[in-house]
A and B are shown apart, each in its own frame.
Chain A
Amino acid sequence: MEMPRPNQDIIARKADLIARLLQVLPVDAVISDPSETRAYECDALTAYKCPPMAAILPTSTQQVSDALRICHDMGVPVVPRGSGTSLAGGALPTADSVILGVARLNDVLETDYDNRIIKVQSGRTNLSVTGAVEEQGFFYAPDPSSQLACAIAGNIAMNSGGAHCLKYGVTTNNLMGVTMVLMDGTITELGGAHLDAPGYDLLGLICGSEGQLGVVTEATLRILHKPEGARPVLMGFDSNEVAGQCVSDIIKAGVLPVAIEFMDRPCIRACEAFAKAGYPDCEALLIVEVEGSDAEIDEQLETIMGIARTHNPVELRQSTSAEESARIWLGRKSAFGAMGQINDYMCLDGTIPVSQLPYVLKRIGEMSKEFGLDVANVFHAGDGNMHPLILFDANKPGDLELCEAFGAKILKLCVEVGGCLTGEHGVGIEKRDLMVDQYAPEDLEIQMAIKDVFDPKWLLNPAKVFPLQSSESHRIAAE
């Protein structure tokens, strides 16, 4: 993976930069010792590492603004960082950059149940947003698998989804307002407790912009009352194709589950070993969850299980207790970790039209043989967001490169069948060079023109999202 060559002039001025940052930040908020900056050398995409020149951990919007203004004046690149759980390398530093971590911005600023909103600082973790409102029976809907650790700032940067977004939508559908600091230090307010934008939908634009347009310090989020109950049903099938067809039939029938999750045999086995959820040992497993009162759940599941029966399931079983449901979900949400215990893996994130599921699964199986690398499939089937995990051996020379080539081929297949490179993890550096497979030059050009407007000097997270060759003229013009 190519990164821009670090600017030695900037590195030479490190002492000056640190001195200026210390004028606006508390002394413990500026980390510049190489033994400590190492902690920020990568995110969850650990294949790529580079310690930053410094890391700063501001505790207020004003401090973020002051620090950004200094970096802006000195031409220093800034890489914003939430909790560092990005699987796409979104928070990978360069040697001449400053990591701006929002970890200390983690307060709840306001909870308002009448208006169904919560306002938090952006470093707060996803799950602790729900934690702040669950006593009153409320929750924050987007639920990425990393929700215990991941920060709202990162959720906004990547427009994170989760298993339940089939019903509740992703971050952009649950984000109502932000306080955002531009690279030159300007503090802006977008949206708030009211719905829809007064002008252009800039909130929609910054959501998913991977920390390239501004640094979000506060967010107003929609909260909802928890459903009365929820119940998953397990459906085992003897082929991926049949499972895929069942998903399509369920959706077509007019019942909309909150989640339809898919796992194939390698994944089922790893998750079962980890969570003891009682998954059947079969080719393909669906976890379908519906919500409501007991009677409402019974009614929906009757329809759904009726459809499943027409596909000759090898297993069809409703959860019978809250404890069993929790284990079923623990298994699914631990899928990446469980696979990680038995193998190195690369996690992909392409999305395809649901109707293409059987075909794409078949092709992935064929490619797996071609490349000689095993694949475990786990994904959000209801919305076509796939997470194939390609298994490889990091200690075997050439295996990572082989794995990356295989991954690129799967993602290109996703694009070919009408889908996209990334459904919820973001482009980062991981999929940066594949952007030309999804977008024509003019499609990328207008996106980069947006960065020109928000960050004319191209200092915020500059080496991400756009292929370096595509962005070169913008980065040079900005110097």
Chain B
Amino acid sequence: MTSLTPESEADLADIVVSADTPFHVHGGGTRPIDGPTNGTPLSTSRLSGIELYEPGSLTLVVRAGTPVAEIESTLAAENQRLAFEPMDHRGLLGTTGEPTIGGVIGANVSGPRRIQAGAARDFLLGVRFVDGTGQVIRNGGRVMKNVTGYDLVKLLAGSYGTLGILTEVALKVLPDTATTATLSIAGLDDETAIAALSRALGSPFEVTGAVHMPQAQGEGRTLIRIEGSEASVAYRAAELQKLLAGFGDVLFDHDTTANRALWRDLRDVSAFHDRAGDVWRLSVKPSDAPGVVAKVPGAQALYDWGGGLIWLLVPQGTAPTAIRQPVNDAGGHATLIRGNRNAGVFHPLPAPVAALQDGLRRKFDPHGLFNPGLMGQTA
């Protein structure tokens, strides 16, 4: 089916007002992790362009369909960046096309730096969107502190286009850093590795990445990223080496170019790109992570966020309960990223929370036009 691609917010609003059948809302279409939805494809990819960029205010306002690559190169020219480090899903999901900022926000996509800097939702200052009745709604703004009215900005982030179609987002950006270094320890088992990462993250040395790749994926490696000025990075690396000495030899690599490539691969879960099987994304308390992984038969894990984020590769067709049960027991949630989406993508919610979610959805999209069937499971 051809996608509808409105060229302006007003066009989009008109399309929604006159609609009598649902839409499958998407940005660049590179993250089809949103499950099956029947409906006319509707893409925001032509609502593109940077509206405002003030490096001295750390603020960027862009239309939702703007390619992430365009934003990143614009920021790089001023030595700034999207600190939440949004993952590129194309390698993992085998998709093509151009990731858009609207898609990043719609799915609240963050990378390894989420553990220190925050998630996409934490950098989102304002939104404009079209609701299910075709009205254009504004919330938040372009300033860093704003408690004027309810925070629909957070609500829209990660709502996968089910509450409204984003047309414009305002983001806080941060300065880029001169040096990226990696500390690594080889051969740790999962429990010990998570303990080492916790020690590093609980230090004053501003760790901006904390990953563990278990033995099963070749050489087991526990990786810690530090960023900043050259002198500061060298100092903190030395302090962390002392702090972590009890865990084994702590190697220091300060080749910024190589480290940036390494952390891009970690961000994009490259380890699972060419591997068959379903991929799940688990969010748990870091110290619970190894125990949860151990309970899933045949699973291979990649731990990010100091253990708080687990990328799990399981044999194709593994029953969702095999993953969801141990996650439920520990407290947390699991999302199916690659696999049969008919089995349910999102983690079922407790009844009172599901009722609130359902109630909100009926208010924002009373006719059920946006991505019907998505994000609606109750436990």
- A254 near B202: Cβ-Cβ < 8 Å: no
Contact with B along A437-461 (1 / 0, CB 8 A): 0111011101101101110000000
Check if A266 is an interface residue, CB within 8 A of chain B. Answer: no
Contact with A along B349-376 (1 / 0, CB 8 A): 1101110110110011000000000010
Check if A197 is an interface residue, CB within 8 A of chain B. Answer: yes
Check if A225 is an interface residue, CB within 8 A of chain B. Answer: yes
Contact with A along B219-238 (1 / 0, CB 8 A): 00000000001011001000
Check if A340 is an interface residue, CB within 8 A of chain B. Answer: no
Q: How far apart sit A207 and B62, CA to CA, in the bound complex (Å)?
A: 25
Within 8 A of B (CB), among A254-305: 254-256, 292-293, 295-296, 299
Which A residues are CB-close (under 8 A) to B353? 188-190, 199, 202
Which B residues are CB-close (under 8 A) to A204? 121, 151, 153-155, 157
CB closest residue in chain A, given B282: A194
Which B residues are CB-close (under 8 A) to A248? 56-57
Check if A251 is an interface residue, CB within 8 A of chain B. Answer: yes
- B149 near A170: Cβ-Cβ < 8 Å: no
Check if B241 is an interface residue, CB within 8 A of chain A. Answer: no
Q: How far apart sit A205 and B258, CA to CA, in the bound complex (Å)?
A: 40
CB closest residue in chain B, given A450: B150
Check if B176 is an interface residue, CB within 8 A of chain A. Answer: yes
**Among A227, A383, A452, contact of B143 (Cβ-Cβ < 8 Å):** A383
Check if B201 is an interface residue, CB within 8 A of chain A. Answer: yes
- A194 near B148: Cβ-Cβ < 8 Å: no
- B363 near A351: Cβ-Cβ < 8 Å: no
Check if B208 is an interface residue, CB within 8 A of chain A. Answer: no
Q: Decide: A420 near B57, CB < 8 A? Known: A114-B195, A114-B286, A200-B163.
A: no
Check if B277 is an interface residue, CB within 8 A of chain A. Answer: no
Which A residues are CB-close (under 8 A) to B59? 353
Q: How far apart sit A426 and B147, CA to CA, in the bound complex (Å)?
A: 6
Contact with B along A79-122 (1 / 0, CB 8 A): 00000000000000000000000000000000011111000000
- B232 near A299: Cβ-Cβ < 8 Å: yes
- A161 near B145: Cβ-Cβ < 8 Å: yes
- B146 near A420: Cβ-Cβ < 8 Å: yes
Q: How far apart sit A418 and B126, CA to CA, in the bound complex (Å)?
A: 11
- How far does the Cβ of B92 sit from chain A's closest Cβ, in whole Å? 18
Check if A380 is an interface residue, CB within 8 A of chain B. Answer: yes
Question: Size of chain B's interface in residues, with CB distance under 8 A?
Answer: 81
Check if B284 is an interface residue, CB within 8 A of chain A. Answer: yes
- A299 near B143: Cβ-Cβ < 8 Å: no
Q: How far apart sit A200 and B151, CA to CA, in the bound complex (Å)?
A: 12
- A353 near B135: Cβ-Cβ < 8 Å: no
Which A residues are CB-close (under 8 A) to B359? 453-454
CB closest residue in chain B, given A456: B359
Check if A338 is an interface residue, CB within 8 A of chain B. Answer: no
CB closest residue in chain A, given B115: A195
- A170 near B145: Cβ-Cβ < 8 Å: yes
- A199 near B346: Cβ-Cβ < 8 Å: yes
- How far does the Cβ of A289 sit from chain B's closest Cβ, in whole Å? 15
**Among B56, B145, B151, B175, contact of A383 (Cβ-Cβ < 8 Å):** B145
Q: Decide: A453 near B363, CB < 8 A? Known: A194-B331, A296-B232, A351-B143.
A: yes
Check if B137 is an interface residue, CB within 8 A of chain A. Answer: yes
Which A residues are CB-close (under 8 A) to B360? 200, 450, 453
- B143 near A384: Cβ-Cβ < 8 Å: yes
Which A residues are CB-close (under 8 A) to B175? 254-256
**Among B119, B176, B198, B364, contact of A195 (Cβ-Cβ < 8 Å):** B119
Q: How far apart sit A248 and B148, CA to CA, in the bound complex (Å)?
A: 24
Q: How far apart sit A424 and B146, CA to CA, in the bound complex (Å)?
A: 7
- A198 near B347: Cβ-Cβ < 8 Å: yes
Contact with A along B253-267 (1 / 0, CB 8 A): 000000000000000
Which A residues are CB-close (under 8 A) to B309? 195
Check if B329 is an interface residue, CB within 8 A of chain A. Answer: no
Check if B139 is an interface residue, CB within 8 A of chain A. Answer: yes
Q: Decide: A425 near B284, CB < 8 A? Known: A442-B137, A453-B356.
A: no
**Among B54, B58, B148, contact of A421 (Cβ-Cβ < 8 Å):** B148
Q: Decide: A199 near B349, CB < 8 A? Known: A226-B204, A383-B143.
A: yes
- A443 near B232: Cβ-Cβ < 8 Å: no
**Among A159, A200, A228, A251, contact of B357 (Cβ-Cβ < 8 Å):** A200
Check if A126 is an interface residue, CB within 8 A of chain B. Answer: no
- How far does the Cβ of A475 sit from chain B's closest Cβ, in whole Å? 17
Which B residues are CB-close (under 8 A) to A161? 145
Within 8 A of A (CB), among B317-362: 331-333, 335, 346-347, 349-350, 352-354, 356-357, 359-360
Check if A431 is an interface residue, CB within 8 A of chain B. Answer: yes
CB closest residue in chain B, given A295: B235
Which B residues are CB-close (under 8 A) to A440? 138
Q: List 25 A-B contacts (CB under 8 A).
A: A115-B287, A173-B122, A188-B352, A192-B332, A193-B331, A194-B331, A197-B333, A198-B283, A200-B155, A201-B108, A201-B121, A209-B151, A252-B78, A256-B174, A295-B231, A296-B235, A299-B231, A355-B57, A385-B144, A419-B143, A439-B149, A443-B149, A450-B363, A452-B363, A454-B356
Q: Nearest 5 CB-CB pairs, A to B?
A: A204-B154, A198-B333, A423-B145, A453-B359, A254-B175
Extra inter-chain contacts (5) besides given A137-B204, A251-B56, A384-B145, CB under 8 Å: A201-B154, A226-B204, A254-B79, A353-B59, A442-B135
